[in-house]
Amino acid sequence: MTAALEAKNVCKTYVVNKRQNNVLRNVSFDVEDGELVAVMGPSGSGKTTLLYAVSGMDEVTSGSVGFYGQELTQVRAKEMATLRLDSMGFIFQQMYMLKNLTIADNILLPAFQSKKNRGTAKRREKSAYAHELMYRMGIAELARNDITEVSGGQLQRACICRSLINDPQMVFADEPTGSLNKQASNEVMDQIVTLNRAGTTVMLVTHDIRVAAKCDRVLYLIDGSINGDLALGKHEGDHTLKDRERRLNNWLLDKGW
Ligand SMILES: Nc1ncnc2c1ncn2[C@@H]1O[C@H](COP(=O)(O)OP(=O)(O)OP(=O)(O)O)[C@@H](O)[C@H]1O
Ligand SMILES: [Mg+2]
């Protein structure tokens, strides 16, 4: 198996008002190519910080992060930006879509930012791909809407389309269903499972047992350290979902969740 991600002894320390906050403490884990991994843990345990650290969005204080064999801590800022744009996808709630662009144009933005897509032919190809993605996510009819003219679930599906526009090897998602009701959350998670089954490696942070139960593996973070690693195996269909949820719930209760 190829490792998509190899984090070794990752530490992240923030200094605020001369006070050190060791948010990540020697975090080590692997994500295999094609895996769908969830990170859970109490609020403030460092989940978002971990996602930023292993996706090269933020520098680590010490430790190493391999991304498909490439050591991210050695990559210079400019190359890192290219690597992120071309090989990674992000579904982060804080990364708002631009208000003055339509849904389709927001989805296309990372494509047009990538040097790989210079020229009219490439741009046309990407436009068609954006529409195909929107169709797949069930938001094709919203292409020309402003981002204020869609629901939270639809906007989140647009974020997934945007994260996929450059065919990333791996997608990082921070609470992708966080602001959604149960039905919209199910739909968005099912889309994430579908994109994973099509070959994209996914690492997501969630507080939702129903979301994590559809993942292959769950890492539990507490006080900046990995405190558990539960292998659930591939989610094969809704008939086993209740069992997976029960298993995960018991495991989490054991952890004091
Ligand atoms: N940019 C920053 N500068 C200083 N401290 C930060 C920064 N970002 C996060 N922290 C601190 O790091 C710790 C972990 O924050 P983080 O956002 O990673 O937690 P989390 O597990 O994602 O929590 P939540 O579930 O609430 O989203 C917190 O104590 C937070 O205050
Ligand atoms: Mg967070």
Q: The domain that contains 214 carries what CATH number?
A: 3.40.50.300
Ligand 1 in contact with 23 (CB < 6 A)?
A: yes
- What is the rounded average pLDDT of the residues 102-114? 94
Say how many domains are in the chain. 1
Per-residue pLDDT for 163 more than 90? yes
Measured from the Cα of 205, ligand 1's closest atom is 22
Separation between Cα atoms, residue 78 and residue 186, nearest integer Å: 37
Closest CA to 178 of 20, 25, 48, 73: 48
Mean of the per-residue pLDDT values of the chain: 94
- C-alpha 122/C-alpha 142 separation (Å) is 23
**pLDDT band, residue 1 (cuts 50/70/90):** low
pTM: 0.95
Rounded to an integer, the average pLDDT of 81-102 is 88
46 Cβ closer than 6 Å to some ligand 1 atom: yes
User: Distance of CA 93 to CAs 73, 96, 118, 229, Å?
Assistant: 25, 7, 29, 25
How far is residue 50 from each of residues 56, 76, 216, 227, measured CA to CA in Å? 10, 20, 19, 14
Q: Which of 47, 54, 208, 225 is the best mutation target for the ligand 1 pocket, counting ligand atoms within 8 Å of the beta carbon and taking the most?
A: 47
Q: Would residue 52 count as lying in a domain?
A: yes
Question: Looking at the domain assignment, is residue 225 inside a domain?
Answer: yes
User: Is there a domain that residue 128 lies in?
Assistant: no
Q: Is 14 in the pocket of ligand 1 (CB under 6 A)?
A: yes
Pocket flag, ligand 1, residue 16 (CB < 6 Å): yes
- Is 40 touching ligand 1 by the criterion CB < 6 Å? no
Residue 38 belongs to some domain of the structure: yes
Closest ligand 1 atom to residue 46 Cα is 18
Residues near 128 by beta carbon (within 8 Å), at least 6 away in sequence: none
Q: Is residue 159 part of a domain?
A: no
Is the residue at 197 inside a domain? Answer: yes
Percent of the chain having pLDDT more than 90? 82
The string of pLDDT tens digits covering residues 26-85 is 999 999 999 999 999 999 999 999 999 999 999 999 999 999 999 999 999 999 999 999
pLDDT higher than 80, residue 207: yes
Inside any domain, residue 121: no
pLDDT for 55 equals 96
104, 134 Cβ separation under 8 angstroms:
yes
Q: Nearest ligand, CA of residue 42? A: 1
Check: CB of residue 110 under 8 Å from CB of residue 86: no
Domain-embedded: residue 125? no
Range of the domain at 26: 3-96+170-254
